[in-house]
Structure 1
């Protein structure tokens, strides 16, 4: 690829064909990296059943989501490590390192045996691999955003950096398409297998039939991970063809590179305040809206509304196809009216509408479940009998009668209220007019330890069925179900796709302008380090922990929509802080001026 000559002050001219080639090559490699990272998120529920079988079924999804979040938690450290490397050895070789680490980690997840084979070592290694993925991704985004912004014409930075913003969604879309294709093929050619307990006996459903697991859920899910090795080779080839960033080469030649970018970016209030403003006034809200609209929506469909994974992936995939153009639209719009009003408007609309949108999603996608949730269900227990069932290190056992009652209801997506009764000796579940006493697992012995749990679960399920709750997904004729990828042309399915597309449009509002906005907040010398840390703290911690936190809040409160207060509060706070502190008109700045703030 020919060397690119760049006049840093003359950026209003149209981009050359060579510059566009560089940007597209960078975006393509980033799509593959996001594909690797999001495979786990798309398959979190299935993977949780493989690696967290030692935990109670009611809390298994929380652990699976926490393993997903582990990749986000370490992203700020990746931003620091690879940001420093990018300043020392250059963008190109840093890009090669991040894609290599990401690709190999993803491939190894596909090879990793499950809990039944390796015991506790399996989930530990899984989390380590997720952390390696997070480190790699932490070094990817800042370099890509800076790389593209410093090539783009000054009056089109929002539009051209929006291509980088689409890579996350396109990576998710690519992962969903691959999953759907593999899932269809595997399940069509291999029969389901009976689920066995530790003694080798078949586990039975409440209706007396054997519990079955589909071939994709058992082993087929590994194929997308193993196939990522092909994308790794393609990505490495693409990135080896890229030249070093002209801005980086220019800074090196002039001896203008910062000797200590982290200290310069965060060690003084002059620059450090912009990192805090960017985090709390922009990125935190952007992050929770992004992950609510994509990952939590997918998780909500599968685990709360009880839509089968194939159908949920089809619905989300179509919403991504319809909504992804919003990135380019809002990126271009931000070049005209500014970044700040679009980002904050997206956060405000999300905060005002989430409490209406997700119940609507339930009502349309699973009408029988939505109708049943109107039934009054209460859990009455003595004070202190109920625990907060959120234990990320797996050290607690939730065995009290109240914990058992709540976890049993949570598995069926039941909305319930808690009532304290000092006189209660054992928790009771009241469903309509039916009262069912729970049990304390620590006080059971002998045959009672086997019969009491089964009897309680059956009694609760029978009462829920009588109250209108679907007995099983297979017998629920109202729940949305797609036979194939193009099976979306019915009123129910189109409505679900439109609701999900609305959530994606909110994602594009907050995410499309954020790269250009962050680039414009920091001077050239510290731009890579300056924008990377607040971006990855916001998206890694506020956003990455969103699904697990929301699910745990919902389980604790007894309201399947209770967890939505997490993104609503953070998005609302971002609107207030951003309106007061975030600078306006940054889209008019000369980002190559060292004194630009």
Structure 2
């Protein structure tokens, strides 16, 4: 109820169902728009970031991916301001429109072969627009549902928003898989990959139609009627008593925790299977699709559970479980998807030596012969160790020196691959047997459960942590800073670590480190006990209605 006795009509069950359906559908479509870029990373690289260095090409794609995330906090500030001043409904109508137009634009840009440097620059510009739009989407959808939900079902109702984020990833995989099935492989690589981007226009139309049927949030209506909307939501977010601590906890203890395991579970998992494990592309997509669909239900279960046990317990359990099981799960994925790779690495380890034996993943060509050997091994997905840093560049497999002409780039990589194959390394695309595929799906679902535990109750938690008058801004800013920088840069940072070390599992340390710090912050700062509405402090803050 609003302050000063302002009242509003409680939404009916039918209206709440429409709110959840429309908000969730819009969230699915908007995240589909954002994720389709990462799902088609290899083809995006070939079209817009071509390079003779395969590793550099994919890292440039992930850098473009990260650019979109980097602008999410700015979008959170802009649209959070509008959402607290003008209303929840119309603000996220703007965000979904901006996202749909920017996504379709990616599908219309000529490749770098046609327009040169302008192609990647335009792509980066559109990714910036997507990041701005996404910065306003999650906060708007989450708050809109939270402010319609009865307190005892707030975790359950808002969990559909978290499940919808996974739904956007699943939809991107499904559309790509369908396009691969309908379009011949050569045509898909040449132009068919653009179709999923252009489909966003249809999804935009559906989303707008559904969201235009909605009314404004009852909490915002009550605030507006009472004249209690914020004067400057951005400033008030940092001056409201106690809000700096809440923002810090929301950034590192909530958003930081949930986002690194989310992107590790889905995007790192996708890249890991399709990249160093060399699982067949379409099979990888189907495995991710099935595991993603199953995992969506976990978020709803956790949200409902949090209504009974509180928001803190699932997050703490999920964070601890991630620290314990993250590496074993990925070791299991590697063993099931490409068992020969691990056994070959044990039986015939690769050791590289030579003067200035360092590898720069961002260099188009390595400065030294030894660095070029490391680049070849990285592009082949082979783990290696670096020994004697002096003398002539050389590589040994199982203790035997490989005869290589270091002056012939193409011949060097071919000779290296041939020698590795002779020692049992298999560079063909892998198709694991049915039993292994079931195990892979089970392990991916376990990653989905870790993500659900840290994410399923978050929309309700963040809505309850902040006062209604500045809720859109206060929850969106830390959420998108955490998701944008800590999570959005994960594929790039983890990919760089893997490329630099030659260890396909080394990138997981980034997730582990962020999770460990976030667990400490979450334990300290997230309120314990049963869920409760935001309560004013005793420091005489401005009057503000709480959730209904």
Band of TM-score, shorter chain? over 0.9
Residue 292 of structure 2 aligns with which residue? 320
Please say which of residues 357-366 and 559-568 is displaced more in the overlay.
357-366
* 1:432 aligned residue (386, 398, 413): 398
Q: How does 1:222-371 map to 2 (within 5 A)?
A: 222-267=194-239, 270-371=242-343
TM-score (norm 1): 0.85
Structure 1 distance, partners of 2:495, 2:6, is 48
Q: How does 1:451-466 map to 2 (within 5 A)?
A: 452-466=408-422
Deviation at 1:518, TM superposition (A): 1.0
Question: 3-state DSSP class of the match of 1:241?
Answer: coil
Please say which of residues 400-409 and 265-274 is displaced more in the overlay.
265-274
Q: Which runs of 5+ in 1 are unaligned?
A: 1-6, 193-213, 441-447, 482-489
CA 1:527–1:8: 2 relative to 1, 3 Å = farther
Asked if 2 retains the 8 angstrom alpha-carbon contact of 1:179 and 1:224, the reply is: yes
Asked if 1 retains the 8 angstrom alpha-carbon contact of 2:6 and 2:222, the reply is: no
CA 1:311–1:9: 2 relative to 1, 3 Å = farther
Asked if 2 retains the 8 angstrom alpha-carbon contact of 1:402 and 1:438, the reply is: no
Residue 57 of structure 1 aligns with which residue? 54
Residue 498 of structure 2 aligns with which residue? 554
Question: 3-state DSSP class of the match of 1:221?
Answer: helix
Asked if 1 retains the 8 angstrom alpha-carbon contact of 2:272 and 2:504, the reply is: no
Structure 1 distance, partners of 2:156, 2:435, is 35
- Structure with more of its chain in helix, by fraction: 2
- Do structure 1's residue 218 and structure 2's residue 190 form an aligned pair? yes
Q: How does 1:549-588 map to 2 (within 5 A)?
A: 549-585=493-529, 587-588=531-532
Deviation at 1:320, TM superposition (A): 1.2
Please say which of residues 358-367 and 330-339 is displaced more in the overlay.
358-367
Asked if 2 retains the 8 angstrom alpha-carbon contact of 1:401 and 1:438, the reply is: no
CA 1:55–1:522: 2 relative to 1, 3 Å = farther
* 2:139 aligned residue (134, 139, 142): 142
Asked if 2 retains the 8 angstrom alpha-carbon contact of 1:58 and 1:408, the reply is: no
TM-score (norm 2): 0.93
Asked if 2 retains the 8 angstrom alpha-carbon contact of 1:154 and 1:590, the reply is: no
Structure 2 distance, partners of 1:520, 1:247, is 13
| Deviation digits for residues 105-124 of structure 1 (CA, Å, limit 9, x no counterpart) | 11111111111111111111
Q: How does 1:386-535 map to 2 (within 5 A)?
A: 386-389=358-361, 391=362, 397-422=365-390, 424=391, 426-436=392-402, 452-473=408-429, 479-480=431-432, 490-535=434-479
Asked if 2 retains the 8 angstrom alpha-carbon contact of 1:344 and 1:574, the reply is: no
Question: 3-state DSSP class of the match of 2:387?
Answer: strand
Asked if 2 retains the 8 angstrom alpha-carbon contact of 1:436 and 1:456, the reply is: no
Question: 3-state DSSP class of the match of 2:396?
Answer: strand
Asked if 2 retains the 8 angstrom alpha-carbon contact of 1:82 and 1:94, the reply is: yes
Residue 373 of structure 1 aligns with which residue? 345
Q: Which runs of 5+ in 2 are unaligned?
A: 537-542
CA 1:295–1:9: 2 relative to 1, 3 Å = farther
| Deviation digits for residues 243-284 of structure 1 (CA, Å, limit 9, x no counterpart) | 122221211111101101111111356211110111112211
Equivalent pairs, count: 536
Task: List, as ranges, runs of 4+ consecutive aligned residues in structure 1 with deviation greater than 6 Å.
Answer: 7-11, 437-440
Residue 209 of structure 1 aligns with which residue? none
Q: How does 1:10-89 map to 2 (within 5 A)?
A: 16-54=13-51, 56-89=53-86
